[in-house]
Amino acid sequence: MIDAIASVGRFSLDALAVLGRASMFLLRIFAALDAVVRRFGLTVWQVYSVGVRSVLIVVVAGLFVGMVLAYQGYITLVDFGAAEALGGVVALSLVRELGPVVTALLFAGRAGSALTAELGLMKTTEQLSAMEMMAVNPYRRVFAPRFVAGFLSMPLLAAMFSAVGVMGGYIVGVGLLGVDSGAYFSQMQAVTDWNEDVMSGVIKSIVFGFVVSWIAVFQGMDATPTSEGISRATTQTVVVSSLAVLGLDFILTGLMFGGN
């Protein structure tokens, strides 16, 4: 009985300690941000490995999500004789929700896990300690560029996802199902607002990019330096950042669209 209570206590203390370490880690990254500007080449490299190499999966996923949305939306709308509203349905669901959220989930799986595994291995093979021995600050040299690269790539990837999704919806809605092409876009423009819909989606994707990069880089830094530790940290990155994205999405949606 007392053991059970003690284990609850240990669990809470551990959770608190992780939170504290993660916050300190973030602060150290912020302190090292000037290095990102000074040695921009490092960040460009990371944008390549985190962002550019995620483009394919994001674009293909966006295309298919848009096409499926158009199919399903059409089936529902055509019963009400409102098939012309398809463009609005597709664009709103993509821009507001699916673009940022699905991109963030893909990003966590594709880029976040890779970041964690890379950093975990660097830690295991004592590359980070070696850097410190050579008076190279790993925060400036390794962590900050990776964090900034993930943070910058997410909004761009989410925008691509939404744009490609809209085109996918066009292919199915107009090409296959015979919705009028002009109605598709005019309905879309009538219901989609730049400030309220597109910008809130962009804000969401920036927040998600921040959180996913933070979790991924932190998990890599915090990994137990064994092969098992790396695998656990990689899993943790995907699980924790996916849950964080979904939970944050609920909160952000409530803040942005719950008002009226």
Partner 1 sequence: MKMRFVELAVGVFVLLGVAALFYLAVQVSNITDYRDGDTYEVTAYFSNVGGLKVRAPVNISGVRVGRVADIRYDPEAFEAKVTLAIRSEHDYLPADTQASIHTAGLLGEQYVALEPGGDYDTLQDGDRILFTQSAVVLENLIGRFMTNMGDD
Contacts with partner 1, residue ranges (CB under 8 A): 41, 44-45, 47-48, 51-52, 55, 91, 95, 153, 155-157, 159-160, 162-164, 166, 185, 188-190, 192-194, 197-198, 202
Which of residues 14 and 193 has its CB atom nearest to partner 1 in the complex?
A: 193
Instruction: Give the Cα-Cα-Cα angle 230, 231, 237 (nearest 5 degrees).
Output: 85
Which of residues 103 and 234 has its CB atom nearest to partner 1 in the complex?
A: 103
- Provide, rounded to whole angstroms, the least separation between the CB of residue 101 and partner 1: 16
Which of residues 81 and 133 has its CB atom nearest to partner 1 in the complex?
A: 81
Compute how many other C-beta atoms are within 10 angstroms of the C-beta atom of residue 37.
9
Q: Return the structure tokens found at 148.
A: 């900034």
Q: Return the structure tokens found at 4.
A: 């059970």
Which of residues 52 and 255 has its CB atom nearest to partner 1 in the complex?
A: 52
- Provide, rounded to whole angstroms, the least separation between the CB of residue 31 and partner 1: 25
Q: Which of 58, 107, 130 is nearest to 215 (CA)?
A: 107
- Provide, rounded to whole angstroms, the least separation between the CB of residue 192 and partner 1: 4
Which of residues 90 and 240 has its CB atom nearest to partner 1 in the complex?
A: 90
- Provide, rounded to whole angstroms, the least separation between the CB of residue 131 and partner 1: 21
- Provide, rounded to whole angstroms, the least separation between the CB of residue 81 and partner 1: 10
